[in-house]
Amino acid sequence: MELLFNITIFPGMLYFLAWTVLLFWFFRKFMAALHKRVGPHFNGPAGSYQTLFDFTKLLTKESVTPSGVNPYLFSLMPILAALIAMLPSAFIPWTPSTTVVPTEYGVLALVVLIGIEPFLLFLSGFGSDNKYSFLGGIRILTQMISSETAFFLAALSPALLFGTLNLQTITESASWLSFVVLIPAFVLYFIALLALLEQPPFNIPDAEQEIVYGFYTEYSGTNYFLLKFAEFAEFMAVYAGATVLFLGGYKGLLVDGYLCFFLKMLLMAMVMMAIRAATPRVTMKQMIRLFWQYLVPLSLLNIAWIMLAKIYLLGGMA
């Protein structure tokens, strides 16, 4: 019974749907404020029903499968992408008592499940039999390979610091001191996160002005909805990962609980939007140079810093 509740409602389907609808609306409103526009306005209070209506519209529209593609690959990929994007939430300690799958290897599961996602998106672009989609897919792969080294090394630093891969233990042992020690790792994680989520300035795979809509180009209707849903579920997985690993999870200043967790995720979404409003897109070459020349060596240095800090600052902890 509790498992059913977990799958359908709390860290499961309904939770992700609500998150997608609300965060989409929030992005549009926040972006509009940064652009000095109004944003969604007419439906509901401050236009908040707009995304709900948009998604309903997408679900009722025809889902076109172009001729010449492999229909199984083409239609399977959105479902698979959405499912895999939702899986990491099973390992996240949302509240002190809610972890669906309590495991000793939470960090590993999180990192691997986040890492698979771009590959599925590449396959969806590859299966579309369209030049724009294919190029978008290739760009995703290139970006993934470049950004993941930094991402993984940054994500593993809290595990090194606390000497455990258990997300629950990491959350519990987080303190102000460990937060300060982990700030460089958090910055690296955040930059790699932008590349992994294809957000500006690294929105190279769906660069509208170059390759129309990247791997999304051929998708419509329900399939497009599923891909968008996967994207937002992926946002949640990555934010939640950052919150647990670096920001102390559900711990708050006054009270612990899910609200603190949510506020931290929202804060990261806002920072991401602010970066989006402040930067133009970099090119592929610049992105690769940034990651391999600067971020990967820096993340290795960061590991060394974590080791030093563990020995000299937090000597008695682990």
Partner 1 sequence: MKKTIQIPLGSQHIALLEPIKFRFECENEKIIAVDSDVGFVHRGVERACATKFSFDSVPYVVARICGLCAITHSLASTMAIESLMEGEVSPKANYLRILLVELDRIHSHLLCLAHVSENAGYEAMFMRIMGDREPIMELLELITGNRVQFDYVCIGGVNRDIDSRIVATTQTTLNTLKSKIQEYIAEFSSNWSLALKYKNIGTLSLEDAYRYNAIGPLARATGLATDVRSSSKLLPYDEVGFKIVVGESGDIYARNMVRLQEILNSIEMCRNIVEGLPEGEILTPFKGKPQGKRLQDSKPLEES
Q: Which residues bind partner 1 (CB under 8 A)?
A: 34-37, 131-132, 135, 200-201, 203, 207-212, 276-286
**Closer residue to partner 1 in complex, CB, 169/276:** 276
Closer of 35 and 61 to partner 1 (Cβ): 35
d(CA 183, CA 233) in angstroms, rounded, equals 25
Task: Please identify, using beta-carbon distances, which residue of 286 and 293 lies nearer to partner 1.
Answer: 286
40 cis-preceded (ω within 30 degrees of 0): no
CB of 214 to partner 1, least distance (A): 13
Residue among 76 and 212 whose Cβ is closer to partner 1: 212
Q: Dihedral sign for Cα 287, 293, 298, 300, please.
A: positive
CB 233 → partner 1: shortest distance, Å? 24
Compute the distance between CA of residue 10 and CA of residue 1 in angstroms, rounded to an integer. 13
- Which single residue is written with the structure tokens 């992105």? 287
Nearest Cα to 232, choosing from 88, 75, 17? Answer: 17
Nearest distance from C-beta of residue 138 to partner 1, angstroms: 10
Within 10 Å of residue 64's Cβ, how many Cβ atoms? 12
| Separation of alpha carbons 252 and 260, rounded Å | 5
When the beta carbons of 88 and 200 are compared against partner 1, the nearer one is: 200
We find the least distance from the C-beta atom of residue 205 to partner 1, in angstroms, to be: 12
Smallest separation (angstroms) from partner 1 to the CB of 125: 14
CA distances from 296 to 6, 81, 180, 289 (A): 37, 27, 21, 10
